[in-house]
A and B are shown apart, each in its own frame.
Chain A
Amino acid sequence: MSTNVQDIHEDHHHAPSGLMRWITTTNHKDIGSLYLWFSLLMFFIGGFMALIIRAELFEPGLQLVIPGFFNQMTTMHALIMIFGAVMPAFVGLANWQIPIMIGAPDMALPRLNNWSFWILPFAFTMLLSTLFFDSGGPAAGWTLYPPLSLQGGNSMPFVILSIHLLGISSILGAINVIATILNMRAPGMTLMKMPIFIWTWLITAFLLIAAMPVLAGAITMLLTDRFFGTSFFTASGGGDPVMFQHIFWFFGHPEVYILILPAFGIVSTIIPAFSRKKLFGYDSMVYATASIALLSFIVWAHHMFTVGMPLAGEIFFMLTTMLIAVPTGVKVFNWVATMWRGSMTFETPMLFALAFIILFTIGGFSGLMLAMTPADFQYHDTYFVVAHFHYVLVPGAVFAIIAAVYYWLPKWTGKMYSESLGKLHFWLTTVFVNVTFFPMHFVGLAGMPRRIPDYPVQFADFNAIASVGAFGFGLSQLLFVYILYNTLKKDVTAEDKVWDGAEGLEWTLSSPPPYHSFEKAPRVE
């Protein structure tokens, strides 16, 4: 099908400028940039909260903040990093990359695209404003478990409605991604010829549409329980607080894969480019991604092994969870096999992708430990869990996002970042991320509970090390901002095909690409 775009060059003279350009834009690149900048801002706000947490935990005792505020920080840090930093970053990458990777002029539904972005700043303003309420912000953890979450202050309805906004934004964005991928591909690009990043996003979008409405249902029930007298999560009325956990994690586990599948796609794009080989096992990558996505709907209760489930439930969820190691193993194997005997070079995106493989695998292994029900009874709600999910989210998802930015930044802007500064950023980040999160395994196994502002003296050393690492990690990210600034003020010099080993339609376009990416659809053989 033809994807020529209507000629609207004349209108460019009347296009609004300044702030109105960004508010009214329907262009996938503008919206992608908005998403990415917004995500960076949220990354620093959420990171600042993490540093408050780590400063308090630097030594035993209560030094800096009161426990109530500490709880608000852990809750907000999670909500902001998940919904404000990682998810919008992936959507921003999807916006920039999907049209130029599949040979389309733009996203399929451009007005919807604008809408799904502009909901976000409002939602987070609403969410963050609760911190200034007399009764403070949400403090029951990002999982909002009742009965604790029902006992919050005036912030509760604001938090829930802002999460509804985030859900609307995600669903609209995901609908747009699916419509684009299914309908806007260049002639000749069959599903099994799509770039792997596109595949992972297609499956992620499906997960978003299936999971986000379930979260909406769960938090709506919280709202009616608190304000309209229903008894969904109240045993005295015949409900069950544990029911919330089941519904929440039915959303929550697919959500975890929403946060990692696009990262798999990015790494599967970068590793072949710098190994100068085709991706090993493309088909199996696609099937593994789909398997992980489908399995994600039948593993949710591994988040709640200690809640008192029937034995059959514990065993079922243990086994299904362990099954996920199989497709994930396929992926790690394929990445390693791609590099095997490749002529590898180690530019910044490749370094981040390599660190991803190693460190994400560590996070995967600790996940396997947590999947064992009997073992989980010891690990549950300890810092071991915190170490696990930070390993898959920070050197996992966040590293992949940073790798993607370094990889595609020259394409987006036509400007090459400083390779030496990029490498410095990589080494600082990689060292400090491990200094921060590795000790958490030890204190967790020794029994330190999560979400607690104070702890016994026996955990002091490792906590101090983790706090130093966290500040180092946070400061290293200022270097990232400087690198971006430094790149953007350069002149356009990048070639169209920035990396000699890279493949894909995006490299056939100029750097930066034209306003309507592919005015005439390319033909894929």
Chain B
Amino acid sequence: MSGQNSYYVPHETKLPFLTTVAIVIMFIGAANYMNGSASGMTIMLIGMVLIFAMAYVWFSEVVTESEGGIYNDQVDISFRWGMVWFIFSEVMFFAAFFGALYYARELSLPWLGGDGYKITTNIVLWPQFENVWPSNGPTNSGGDFVVMGAGGIPALNTLLLLTSGLTVTYAHHGLKEQDRRKLLVGLFLTIALGFIFVGFQAYEYMVAYNDLNLKMTSGIYGSTFYMLTGFHGFHVTLGAIMLTVIFFRCLKGHFAGDNHFGFEAVAWYWHFVDVVWLGLFVFVYWL
């Protein structure tokens, strides 16, 4: 090893190019699927499998390099900044959908209901429409539906995610104290809570579709509900998969008490997912 003092500039790599190819295959499949092509879904799934394969190969290479000790402290800081700003970009992605929710609730629906100076909007378009949240719009888009209450599954899910935030911190303490049992138990519990959350969420969607007639087509309520909870659920799934990878790395004996960026990055991501959920719970389910 040429040592801890040099900044590691990786050698030539085909991985980014091949990853791009995988993403493009998935996107072309997705676009064809949306345009009604029969093969679209298959191409999209092939692309997804390829993306996971590329992620596996790419991360394996980074893990091997990391365990080989060729990253110095400065490389570690680069990774940290990278993860911080990546999470910030995710925050802004969710901000767009939260923005849509606020805009619909505070502006477009009141205006459709004839609020303020937009009275003519109501008179000309849908004079019978009254703005009451939750709403599927003046044309009762998707038909009558029942709202997903904040109690029950969403409250339980809040408890699950908040607890998982504690267990991942418990695991982190285990890692720092070199207490292997604490680390593995904490991580295992976090992963289990994460997947239970996703399971509940899937069950909630089934109830919504089958019993409540709450669908993506249920006007602006259904749109914002599924967009926000859907992307959040996707992120929880990703986070849980990331935690699982970290779990197996811990089993293999990776990470040192004072050097475990991979663990911390995933923990940060997990907390981010947690915070987004709190926003969802308050603004989508509760208020």
Contact A213 B92 (CB under 8 A): yes
Contacts of B215 in A (CB 8 A): 229
A3 beta carbon closer than 8 Å to chain B: yes
Contacts of B93 in A (CB 8 A): 213-214, 216-217
A236-B137 contact in complex given A25-B12, A229-B216, A246-B103, C-beta closer than 8 Å: yes
B56 beta carbon closer than 8 Å to chain A: no
Select the stretch in B78-86, B170-178, B191-199, B247-255 that faces chain A: B78-86
Q: Which of A203-246 contact B (CB under 8 A)?
A: 209-214, 216-218, 220-221, 223-232, 234-240, 242-243, 246
Contact B9 A239 (CB under 8 A): no
Contact A161 B141 (CB under 8 A): no
Contacts of A157 in B (CB 8 A): 30-31, 34-35
Contact with B along A1-14 (1 / 0, CB 8 A): 11111111001000
B42 beta carbon closer than 8 Å to chain A: no
A238-B136 contact in complex given A108-B81, A213-B92, C-beta closer than 8 Å: yes
Q: Which of B57-115 contact A (CB under 8 A)?
A: 58, 70, 73-74, 77-79, 81-82, 85-86, 88-97, 99-100, 103-104, 107-109, 111-112
Q: Which of A7, A118, A211, A310 contacts B92 (CB 8 A)?
A: A211
Contacts of B2 in A (CB 8 A): 6-7
A243-B100 contact in complex given A126-B27, A213-B89, A238-B220, C-beta closer than 8 Å: yes
Closest B residue by C-beta to A159:
B31
Task: Pick from A27, A126, A213 the residue with the most CB of B within 10 Å.
Answer: A213
Bound form: Cα–Cα A343–B27 in Å: 56
Bound form: Cα–Cα A24–B24 in Å: 18
Q: Which of B58, B85, B99, B226 contacts A209 (CB 8 A)?
A: B85
Nearest Cβ distance between residue A243 and chain B, in whole angstroms? 5
Bound form: Cα–Cα A213–B94 in Å: 8
Bound form: Cα–Cα A179–B81 in Å: 5
Bound form: Cα–Cα A165–B141 in Å: 32
Nearest Cβ distance between residue A27 and chain B, in whole angstroms? 8
Contact B97 A235 (CB under 8 A): no
Closest B residue by C-beta to A212:
B89
B208 beta carbon closer than 8 Å to chain A: no
Contacts of B35 in A (CB 8 A): 154, 157
Bound form: Cα–Cα A100–B9 in Å: 15
Nearest Cβ distance between residue A168 and chain B, in whole angstroms? 8
Q: Which of B133-172 contact A (CB under 8 A)?
A: 135-139, 141-142
Main secondary structure, interface of A, reads helix
Bound form: Cα–Cα A299–B35 in Å: 37
B227 beta carbon closer than 8 Å to chain A: yes
B259 beta carbon closer than 8 Å to chain A: no
Bound form: Cα–Cα A229–B218 in Å: 8
Contacts of A227 in B (CB 8 A): 34
Q: Which of B26-72 contact A (CB under 8 A)?
A: 27-28, 30-31, 34-35, 58, 70
Bound form: Cα–Cα A210–B88 in Å: 7
The tally of residues in B whose CB lies under 8 Å from a CB in A reads: 77
Closest A residue by C-beta to B88:
A209
Contacts of B139 in A (CB 8 A): 236-237
B125 beta carbon closer than 8 Å to chain A: yes
Nearest Cβ distance between residue B34 and chain A, in whole angstroms? 4
Nearest Cβ distance between residue B192 and chain A, in whole angstroms? 30
Nearest Cβ distance between residue A118 and chain B, in whole angstroms? 5
Select the stretch in B13-21, B236-244, B261-269, B270-278 that faces chain A: B13-21
Nearest Cβ distance between residue A471 and chain B, in whole angstroms? 35
A516 beta carbon closer than 8 Å to chain B: yes
Nearest Cβ distance between residue B276 and chain A, in whole angstroms? 13
A231-B137 contact in complex given A161-B30, A217-B97, A250-B99, C-beta closer than 8 Å: yes
Bound form: Cα–Cα A8–B3 in Å: 13
Contact B27 A237 (CB under 8 A): no
Closest A residue by C-beta to B103:
A243
Contact B34 A223 (CB under 8 A): yes
A371 beta carbon closer than 8 Å to chain B: no
Contact A243 B17 (CB under 8 A): no
Bound form: Cα–Cα A246–B103 in Å: 9
Q: Which of B111-137 contact A (CB under 8 A)?
A: 111-112, 116-117, 125, 135-137
Contact A231 B219 (CB under 8 A): yes
Contact A111 B104 (CB under 8 A): no
A238-B96 contact in complex given A8-B9, A232-B223, C-beta closer than 8 Å: no
B7 beta carbon closer than 8 Å to chain A: yes
Q: Which of A161, A164, A183, A213 contacts B77 (CB 8 A)?
A: A183
Contacts of A178 in B (CB 8 A): 81, 85
Closest A residue by C-beta to B31:
A157
Q: Which of A313-360 contact B (CB under 8 A)?
A: none
Q: Which of A493-525 contact B (CB under 8 A)?
A: 516
* Interface, chain B (partner A; CB < 8 A): 2-3, 5-17, 19-21, 23-24, 27-28, 30-31, 34-35, 58, 70, 73-74, 77-79, 81-82, 85-86, 88-97, 99-100, 103-104, 107-109, 111-112, 116-117, 125, 135-139, 141-142, 215-217, 219-224, 226-227
Q: Can you sample 21 A-B contacts with CB below 8 Å?
A: A6-B8, A7-B2, A23-B14, A24-B12, A24-B14, A105-B7, A105-B9, A114-B16, A164-B27, A165-B24, A178-B85, A180-B78, A216-B96, A220-B227, A227-B34, A230-B222, A231-B137, A231-B220, A231-B223, A235-B138, A238-B220
* Interface, chain A (partner B; CB < 8 A): 1-8, 11, 15-16, 21, 23-27, 104-106, 108-112, 114-115, 118-119, 122, 126, 154, 157-158, 161-162, 164-165, 168, 171, 174-176, 178-180, 182-184, 209-214, 216-218, 220-221, 223-232, 234-240, 242-243, 246-247, 250, 310, 516
**Given A1-B74, A213-B95, 4 more contacts at CB 8 Å?**
A24-B17, A27-B9, A115-B16, A175-B86
